[in-house]
Amino acid sequence: MPVQVQGEVLSMRRVGAYNAMTIVAPGIAERTKPGHFVALQVGGSESSMLLRRAFAIYDVKERGVYGGTVEFVFSVHGRGTAWLAARRPQDKLDVVGPLGRPFRLPQGRVNATLVGGGYGSAPLLPLAKALRDRGCRVDFVLGAASIDRLFGQLDAKRMSSSIAVTTDDGSIGEQGRVSDVLPHVLDRTGADVVYACGPMAMLRAVSEIAAERGIPAQVAVEESMACGIGVCMTCVLPVIGDDGVSRMVRSCVEGPVFLGDRVRWNDVDSVPADVLGAPMSTGGGH
Amino acid sequence: MGELTVRHHSAPALPDVDLTTELGGVTFPNPVFTASGCAAAGQELDQFFDVSALGGVVTKSIMLAPRSGRPTPRMAETPSGMLNSIGLQGPGIDSFLEHDLPWLADRGARAVVSIAGGSVEDYAKLAAQLRGRPGLSMVEVNISCPNVEDRGQVFACDPSSASAVVQAVRRNTDTKVPVFAKLSPDVTDIATIARACVNAGADGLSVINTLLGMVIDTTTMRPVLGGVTGGLSGPAIRPVAVRCVWQVHEALPGVPILGMGGIRTGLDALEFVLAGASAISVGTTVFGDPSAPMRVLHELAHALSQRGFARFQDAIGLAHRPPEAYVPEEPDPVGDDPPATGRRPLVGFEEER
Alpha carbon distance A81, A74 (integer Å): 8
Chain A neighbors of B232, CB-CB under 8 A: none
The mean pLDDT value for A170-188 works out to 97
Which pLDDT does position B350 carry in this prediction?
46
Chain B neighbors of A3, CB-CB under 8 A: 8, 48
**Residue A111 identity:** N
Alpha carbon distance A106, A53 (integer Å): 30
Chain B neighbors of A223, CB-CB under 8 A: 72
pLDDT tens sequence across B190-216:
999 999 999 999 999 999 999 999 999
Q: Are B262 and B232 in contact (CB under 8 A)?
A: no
pLDDT tens sequence across B290-327:
999 999 999 999 999 999 999 999 999 999 998 876 64
Identity of the residue in B44, B209, B285 whose CB atom sits nearest the CB atom of A230: B44
The model's confidence at residue B15, banded by pLDDT at 50, 70 and 90, is confident
Touching A: B residues 185-214, CB under 8 Å: 209-210
Label the pairing between strands A67-74 and A18-24. Answer: antiparallel
**Is the pLDDT assigned to residue A65 strictly greater than 90?**
no
Chain B neighbors of A94, CB-CB under 8 A: 289
Using the beta-carbon criterion (under 8 Å), do A52 and B287 form an inter-chain contact?
yes
Put simply, whether B288 touches A (Cβ < 8 Å) is yes
**B145 in active site:** yes
Quick count: other Cβ atoms within 10 Å of Cβ A130?
16
Alpha carbon distance A120, A122 (integer Å): 5
**Is the pLDDT assigned to residue B47 strictly greater than 60?**
yes
Length of chain B: 353
Using the beta-carbon criterion (under 8 Å), do A50 and B290 form an inter-chain contact?
no
Using the beta-carbon criterion (under 8 Å), do B210 and A286 form an inter-chain contact?
yes
Decide which of B330 and A188 is more confident.
A188
The alpha carbon of residue B239 is apart from the nearest alpha carbon of chain A, in Å, by: 15
The mean pLDDT value for A90-96 works out to 96
Using the beta-carbon criterion (under 8 Å), do B290 and A270 form an inter-chain contact?
no
Which pLDDT does position B148 carry in this prediction?
82
Identity of the residue in A51, A227, A269 whose CB atom sits nearest the CB atom of B72: A269
Residue A132: is it exposed, middle or buried by C-beta count within 10 angstroms (0-12/13-18/19+)?
Answer: middle
Give the nearest chain A residue to B75 (CA atoms).
A234
The most confident of the ranges A223-227, A277-281, B173-177 is B173-177
Interface test with A, best of B6, B46, B60, B68 (most A CBs within 10 A): B68
Using the beta-carbon criterion (under 8 Å), do A282 and B152 form an inter-chain contact?
yes
The mean pLDDT value for B135-156 works out to 90
Q: Which of B38, B145, B157, B244 is catalytic?
A: B145
Decide which of B136 and A46 is more confident.
B136
Residue A14: is it exposed, middle or buried by C-beta count within 10 angstroms (0-12/13-18/19+)?
Answer: exposed
**Is the pLDDT assigned to residue A117 strictly greater than 50?**
yes
Give the nearest chain B residue to A270 (CA atoms).
B71
Using the beta-carbon criterion (under 8 Å), do B77 and A248 form an inter-chain contact?
no
The alpha carbon of residue B83 is apart from the nearest alpha carbon of chain A, in Å, by: 9
Put simply, whether B253 touches A (Cβ < 8 Å) is no
Decide which of A278 and A81 is more confident.
A81
Alpha-helical runs (H) found in chain B: 93-95, 101-107, 120-130, 159-171, 190-199, 238-251, 266-275, 285-288, 292-306
Length of chain A: 286
Using the beta-carbon criterion (under 8 Å), do A253 and B227 form an inter-chain contact?
no
Using the beta-carbon criterion (under 8 Å), do A286 and B118 form an inter-chain contact?
no
The alpha carbon of residue B205 is apart from the nearest alpha carbon of chain A, in Å, by: 18
Q: Which helix (H) or strand (E) holds B151?
A: none
Chain A neighbors of B61, CB-CB under 8 A: 285
A to B CB pairs, distance under 8 Å: 156
Using the beta-carbon criterion (under 8 Å), do A286 and B86 form an inter-chain contact?
yes
Which pLDDT does position A62 carry in this prediction?
86
Does this complex have an ipTM over 0.85? yes
